[in-house]
Chain A
Amino acid sequence: MRYYFIDTDNEYIVDLNKCKIHSPEMVEYTFNHIDKNKVFGPQKVFVRQMAGKYYTSLDSISWKRVAKQDMPTEMLNVNRVMKMYRGFKPSGLSGSNDGELITNMPGKVVKILVNSGDHVSKGDPVVILEAMKMENEIKSPTDGIVKTIYVKEGDALEQGVLMIDLE
C-alpha cells in the first residue's frame, strides 16, 4: 500500500510492504520510502493496541504512544500540513502556479493594494487578508504584471481560492 504526502512544493512517498498480524492486539508492518527515485528502508514498525490506545515500537520492546487517527486526509509535521493519499495519487494535482495567488487560509479581503496591469516585484504586498481578527499582508510570490483580480474588498474567502493572476 502506497502513501503519498503532498504539500505545495514537495511530494513524499511511503510504501507499506508487509503486514504480519501477531495477535488481535499486535501487528507488524514493514515500510520503505522513496525519495528522488531512490528506495530507503526497509523499517519494521510494531503497533499494539492496549485499552483503546495505540502504541508503536521499532523493536517491540520500547513503545511510544501515537494519537489514534481514523484515516485522516492530512498529515502534520511541525509546521506543515501535507495532503495524505492512500493507494493512489489523484490526477491533475500540482501545487499552485508561481503566478497564481491562492488563499492559504480562509479570510476576508480588507484591501487590494494593486490594480490590474501593475508591475509587482517578488515580496511586494498585494492583498491584505483578515483572518482570526488579524490583518495579514499577502505578498507577491514572483515578479510580474497583475493580469486579473478575481476578488474585491469585503469578500469572505475560503481556503484555496484564486485571488490574483500574475503574468
Chain B
Amino acid sequence: MKKQNNPKRILIANRGEIAARIARAINELGHTAVGVWTDNEIHASHLEFCNEWVHLEGNTNSSTYLSIDNIIRVAKNNNIDAIHPGYGFLSENAKFVERLEKEKIIFIGPNSDAIKKMGDKATSKQIAMKAGIPVIPGSSDAVPNKSSAIKMATEIGYPVLLKAVAGGGGRGMRVCENSSDIEKNFDVVVRESESAFGYGGLLVEKYITNPRHIEVQILADKKGNTYHFFERECSIQRRHQKIIEEAPSPFIGEREDLRQAVCNTAVKVAKAVGYDSAGTVEFVMAEDGSFFFLEMNTRIQVEHPITEEITGIDLIVCMIQAAFGEPLGIPEQKWITRTGHAIECRICAEDPITMLPSPGTITGFETSFPQGTRFDHCIYSGLKVTPDFDPMIGKLVTKGIVRPVAIRKMKAALNGLLIEGLKTNIPLHKVIIDNESFINGKYSTNFISKEKPQDLVDIGIYVTEVYQKIAGIEAVKQGI
C-alpha cells in the first residue's frame, strides 16, 4: 500500500456507528484514527476500528462528548492534528470550532462562521431570504413569550410549528392547531430546548400540510468549489425524527427540472455562507412541488450512506480531504452522477408500537443480507443500550437498480437482521416497507400519523417460535 505522504493524527470526538465509520475512512487514507472511550461506556465497540484508544474522563455526556475543554485537553495531550466531530454532540457548535481555530487544530467540518450563521434558525432564514431563496412564512426571530407566539400564529394562520431556535434532530418542536395548543405546548418546548441546546428561544412558523422533507447533500472544498450530490427524501418521520430515508426522492421522481432546481438552490445556499465541507440543505416541498428552505445542517448526517450508495462517492473521505485543503478529485459537477435507488432504515432500540426509546441489553445478534446491503452499526451480543445516548444502534441500507428492487432487498435484509434481548423498531420497518403508500412513493411527513403502521405490527406470541428460540438457547448451553 502506498504510504500517506503526510499522515495526520485525527481524533474522533464521537461514538457508536459514526465513530466506527469515520475510523475506517481515516484508516483508508493512511492517517491515524484516535478513538475515545468514556467512563459510562467502557465497552466502546467503535474502538475496534481505531488505531489508538484514549480515555475521555467523565460519565455524563456534558462532561465528555459535549465538553469543549475536556476534548481539547485530550487532543493536546495526544498531539492531535485534526478532530472529526461526527454528528450530534459538538458537530455544530461554533464555540468549539472557534476554540480549535485558536488552538491550531483542524476541524473536519465547515468554518465557524458558516456554523454560526446556519446554526441559528433566524439568521439562516435571513441569509436565505437575502440570497433570494424561498422560506416558510413565520417569525424571523425568537418570540419573547406565549402571547406574542399566539399573535404571530394568528397573523400567518394555523396550523403553526413551535420550534427551538437552536434546535435540530427533531427535538424541541410541536405542531399547534390553535391558540390553546400554543398555551399547552409553549413551556414544554422551551424546557426541551433549554435542556437539549442550552437555549430556550422559540420560533413560530407556518406548518405546511402534507409536506415532503427533501434535502440536498453538499460538498465544498476550501477553494470555493461547491458540489451537490443530489437529493434525499426523508419524509418518513416520527416525532419529527427521520426513520426511513431514500435517494433519489420518489416524489421528485422523473421531474429532472425540479430536481435541478432544488439541487442548484442548495448550492446557492451553501455558497451564500462560504461553506467549505460536507453539509446538507433541507427543504420542505409542498404538494405542488414548490419548495422552501428549512435549514442547513453543517455536519455529516446520519443518512449520508444512501447518497454514497447512489453516487459511489465516499463523503467522509471527501470531508477529511476538504478539511486538509486537499483536492477532492472532482473536476466538475457533471462528473457526479447517480445510478439506482437506495433506502435506509434506522434501526433503533425502541418499542415498535409506541416508538419510545427502550433501553436494554442485546443478547443475540446475527445478520444474513441480500446482495446490495450495507449495515453501518455498533451492535454486538452483550451491547448495553443506555438512556445516556440516542437509541439509534444501526443503519440498514439497501440499493437496487430501481426503487422496487431496493424495497425488495430491504424486505429481505430486515428479515435477515436478528436482534434479541431488547425491543427494536425492526417489526415497524417491516410494516412500513409493505405499506401501499410507501410502495407507491406517495407519502408525506404525516405518513406515521396517517397510515398508523404501528397498528399493523403483529404482536402475537407464536408458540413454535418461542420453542425454537428456547431450543437454540438450550443447545448453546449444552455445548452443541
Contacts and interface: CB of A to CB of B under 8 A. Distances in A.
B461 A77 contact: yes
Contact of B364 (A45, A46, A47, A68): A68
Contact of B192 (A75, A78, A135, A159): A135
A56 interface: yes
A16 interface: yes
Given A43-B463, A67-B420, A134-B357, A3 B191 contact: no
B459 interface: yes
Nearest to A22: B480
A81 B360 contact: yes
A8 interface: no
A41 to B, nearest CB: 8
A76 B420 contact: yes
Interface residues of B, number: 56
A131 B357 contact: yes
Interface residues of A, number: 54
Contact of A27 (B352, B353, B358, B475): B475
A34 to B, nearest CB: 11
Contact of A78 (B188, B357, B427): B427
- Provide the main secondary structure of the chain B interface: mixed
Nearest to A73: B363
Interface string A57-90: 0100000111111111011111111000000000
Interface in A113-136: 130-136
A163 to B, nearest CB: 16
A29 B469 contact: no
Given A54-B476, A78-B457, A105 B359 contact: yes
Contacts of B381: 67-70
Nearest to B364: A67
Interface string A93-109: 00000000000011100
A53 interface: yes
A26 interface: yes
B468 A64 contact: yes
A132 B471 CA distance: 35
Interface string B466-480: 111111111111101
A133 B61 CA distance: 12
B467 A14 contact: yes
Contacts of A68: 364, 366, 381, 472, 476
Contacts of B471: 29, 31, 45-47, 56, 66
A54 B387 CA distance: 31
A100 B195 CA distance: 28
B423 A79 contact: yes
Contacts of B476: 54, 68-71
B469 A27 contact: no
Given A14-B470, A47-B472, A105-B357, A76 B464 contact: no
Interface string B442-472: 0000000000000001111101101111111
Contacts of A70: 363, 381, 476-477
B239 interface: yes
A1 B475 CA distance: 13
Nearest to B351: A79
A77 B462 CA distance: 9
B357 to A, nearest CB: 4
Contacts of A3: 470
A136 B354 CA distance: 11
A104 to B, nearest CB: 9
A75 B469 contact: yes
B423 A81 contact: yes
Given A49-B480, A66-B418, A134-B239, A79 B364 contact: no
Given A66-B468, A69-B363, A69-B473, 10 more contacts: A33-B467, A45-B467, A45-B471, A47-B472, A67-B366, A80-B423, A81-B421, A132-B387, A133-B171, A134-B356
Interface of A: 1, 3, 5, 12, 14, 16, 19, 21, 24-27, 29, 31, 33, 40, 43, 45-47, 49, 53-54, 56, 58, 64-72, 74-81, 105-107, 110, 130-136, 159
Interface of B: 171, 188, 191-192, 195-196, 239, 351-354, 356-361, 363-366, 368, 381, 386-387, 389-391, 418-423, 427, 457-461, 463-464, 466-478, 480
27 contacts: A3-B470, A12-B461, A19-B474, A46-B471, A47-B480, A49-B475, A56-B468, A56-B472, A65-B418, A66-B472, A67-B364, A67-B381, A68-B366, A68-B476, A69-B469, A70-B476, A77-B461, A78-B460, A80-B423, A80-B459, A81-B421, A105-B357, A105-B358, A110-B191, A132-B390, A134-B239, A134-B357
